[in-house]
Structure 1
């Protein structure tokens, strides 16, 4: 077979089949990334122990409900692959399905940028030239590593999944050690002083709301098994892997946040350099603690980077197979890797790496924008689950569990709607700036199919997205919002 013939295989490809353990590892590997290492400072900047407990309760219940929605949809609609975008399309039409696919892909891609900035910032504690991960040398090295991973992932999904299994175990060790050591040295008086939050934190409601984007970020990846549903050996493993992955990491995330309040005062934690977990452990056990966490962070990030790269490319690939993205992205190679989608992902990440050089706070910008971009795909998936239950579609043949499912989808919908509110106007407008130009890809698809570019309802959605993008650009230009 010629190289060209190999590269242009599409639907004829035989997907690599993944076991329940491997898919669960993909979920855990996606969720446990750089975000967990930034939790102490991000929470201490916004809230005290009480607010953190409330925030994690809301986030835990809300994301668990969303995980249940993905499980429900995987079981009720097994023919829908690449879950997030497929559910939006099935429930609300091709254009919103396209936006969901693009938004999820863009979110994962900006998340990859965050990973590189975080690694370089970690090294910057030792090598000042790397700064906070946004200096010229940091961006240059990040770019080189980006393309190195691109060529690694091209070698195949099975190989990448095997590496991910090893890295997932390795990166959990420093996080668990951190929690245990922090508990051992926990100071009750410091913990009590941090209970109510500081004067700068605002009302309890504001404290909780201001932590929502960071909780979304650390939970991104909970939908990983749904995204990889076409690779599952057994369809029911998709839902099981989602729940197992979520339960495996929720307690870890909450514990990292809460135990930190017993080591240092809030004000001190809020001033720590990222990764703040390193600073907390250094205060607890000495300088070796910072080194220990920093090494763990780099291992963790590289593992999560691998999983997120695969998921981002997979979304574009499956969307193209379903004729919702230009057909070029349906190309895969002999190892079943969506090469064109993977290449576009690398190019997009490279472009954003250049843009963040001009940001005031590159690290937090990348984190919050990653979370904001994924809110619309999550909201539409929850809405589709609600629509499915209300219309009783598929429940005539299998009515069992309707009442429980109704509670789940209502809670998931309310939670994702609250996240959109918590994101605030700044990140909603920034999201529109990214979403609106993507319509060019939608037009390309319609031209390939010889169809009318937009229907009546789709024109309304187009106008709203363009208006939002224009508002965002104006807000940036006059300084109402800043990068």
Structure 2
């Protein structure tokens, strides 16, 4: 049976859909608080340029090393001698951390979906007590939210099992709808833009201690605030083995970044001209408030609907990506062989089931405070597992340039060398900024180290595989 494949547009939709999720709805407020209009614009441009170097790296590696599928964390094993224990351990740890980080992050998207749905169904926030047992009280809103989240998770599970093209087309439809919606918002914003709201264009901001922050400090704050806006740029490379052409992976990664960047810059800057600065900084729903100044009450309904569509696409894309990570890692010998199980549509059946069962456990956070605390803990420590693969990919590209592997001309090596150096520096800065708090850093290391509990099983599995190969020979 011919394996279904993803073309350029479906890959691009996965990149955009995974990058542009729920965060865009709150980002304008946090950016306005962090910087003046000039700082916001410059911060976006600098961040966009930095992430562009990473996007180019991902595209280059997909073409130069097409056999290394499954995501940037896979390149970890290539930084060490082939077949060595260091190679296997690094690849396994990186894949493990990235997988667990994604699974936990999926629950955040799913629960946000329920939050947006409450705009249309207020009963989801009902405080009516269903029953109480000891210190535990189950409220009707929490119960319904749990049921909504659980339903969404397993509906997405069923859709993904129908095949890569079916899932890709639904993701494309959701992504195309939200991109169109955001660009319509931008057009409305252009007409509603009040220049006086962004004056002064360059203005001081203040930290918690009351110290004045200049333009450079503001740009740095914006870069930190937008750190998570670009998580998902690696989506196309995770699905590289399912792409019709490896060149589409590079094109989709760069195209997806540019589309997302246009949406981010357009919305965050235009909202500054639709709401006064003091109003924007205090707003809990900046996009809704901004569109409300033009369209009135119907604006909140439209934005909530756009949010739901946006989250459906993001949920589908991230659940699919989460299952693909250990599946592709297992193909590289970096994960337990059980994760290689497929259904008749060549979808990672076992990997998808295990990933979603873990997500289901965390969805209990909607009805149990103890689980909520556990969920917050995992999200808190997942920072490093998201960012480390970026450093790995850019370092591996630099290694290829240094050794000359896959290169023919010195000009190509020089060009990619400069990009690799910039991407490596930027990636390291991302890790440093994202884990600046020592507690976050140490807990992130603990998450990666937790893979060591399962590492002996992987070694045993590989030993048995080698024994069988010798016997068959």
TM-score bin, normalised by smaller chain: 0.7 to 0.9
- Contact 2:101-2:378 within 8 A present in 1 as well: no
1:280 alignment counterpart: 290
Q: 315, 328, 336: which one pairs with 1:305?
A: 315
2:113 alignment counterpart: 119
1:130 alignment counterpart: 125
- Please, which runs of 5 or more residues in structure 1 have no aligned partner? 1-12, 452-483
CA drift at 1:268: 2.5
Query: Is 2:355 the partner of 1:340?
Result: no
Q: 395, 405, 422: which one pairs with 1:393?
A: 405
Report the secondary structure of 2:226's partner residue. Answer: helix
- Contact 2:55-2:253 within 8 A present in 1 as well: yes
CA drift at 1:110: 2.8
* Aligned counterparts, 1:57-456, within 5 A: 57-92=45-80, 93-125=87-119, 127=122, 129-130=124-125, 135=142, 137-193=144-200, 195-196=202-203, 198-200=205-207, 203-204=213-214, 205-212=216-223, 214-274=225-285, 276-355=286-365, 358=369, 372-395=384-407, 397-423=408-434, 424-425=436-437, 426-450=439-463
Deviations 1:418-461 (A, max 9, x none): 1112112243234234322232232221122238xxxxxxxxxx
Higher radius of gyration, 1 or 2: 2
Give the whole-Å Cα distance in 1 for the aligned partners of 2:92 and 2:386.
13
- Contact 1:194-1:266 within 8 A present in 2 as well: no
CA drift at 1:371: 5.1
- Please, which runs of 5 or more residues in structure 2 have no aligned partner? 81-86, 128-140, 465-473
Give the whole-Å Cα distance in 2 for the aligned partners of 1:162 and 1:212.
33
CA drift at 1:283: 3.3
Deviations 1:170-211 (A, max 9, x none): 111221121121221112121114742543476345544444
Query: Which deviates more, 206-215 or 93-102?
Result: 206-215
Report the secondary structure of 1:277's partner residue. Answer: helix
CA drift at 1:361: 11
Query: Which deviates more, 103-112 or 208-217?
Result: 208-217
- Contact 2:30-2:225 within 8 A present in 1 as well: yes
Report the secondary structure of 2:18's partner residue. Answer: helix
Deviations 1:34-54 (A, max 9, x none): 222222123234222222123
- Contact 1:188-1:262 within 8 A present in 2 as well: yes
Query: Is 2:9 the partner of 1:21?
Result: yes
CA drift at 1:114: 2.0
TM-score, scaled to structure 2 = 0.84
Check 1:336–1:214 CA distance in 2 against 1; reply closer, same or farther (3 A cut). Answer: farther
CA drift at 1:343: 1.2
Give the whole-Å Cα distance in 2 for the aligned partners of 1:135 and 1:373.
30
Give the whole-Å Cα distance in 2 for the aligned partners of 1:76 and 1:399.
16
Give the whole-Å Cα distance in 2 for the aligned partners of 1:430 and 1:211.
25
Check 1:347–1:41 CA distance in 2 against 1; reply closer, same or farther (3 A cut). Answer: farther
CA drift at 1:363: 11
Give the whole-Å Cα distance in 2 for the aligned partners of 1:169 and 1:85.
29
CA drift at 1:152: 2.1
TM-score, scaled to structure 1 = 0.82
1:10 alignment counterpart: none
- Contact 2:224-2:433 within 8 A present in 1 as well: yes
Query: Which deviates more, 197-206 or 371-380?
Result: 197-206
Check 1:353–1:207 CA distance in 2 against 1; reply closer, same or farther (3 A cut). Answer: farther
Check 1:197–1:54 CA distance in 2 against 1; reply closer, same or farther (3 A cut). Answer: same
Check 1:436–1:353 CA distance in 2 against 1; reply closer, same or farther (3 A cut). Answer: farther
User: Alignment length, in residue pairs?
Assistant: 436
Query: Which deviates more, 244-253 or 295-304?
Result: 244-253
Give the whole-Å Cα distance in 1 for the aligned partners of 2:189 and 2:162.
41
- Contact 1:31-1:222 within 8 A present in 2 as well: yes
Q: After the TM superposition, which segments of 4 or more aligned residues of structure 1 sit over 4 Å from their partners?
A: 355-372
Check 1:272–1:194 CA distance in 2 against 1; reply closer, same or farther (3 A cut). Answer: farther
CA drift at 1:14: 5.5
Deviations 1:391-420 (A, max 9, x none): 22222x344421211111111111111111
Report the secondary structure of 1:64's partner residue. Answer: helix
Deviations 1:347-401 (A, max 9, x none): 2222333357649999999987665431111111111112221222222x34442
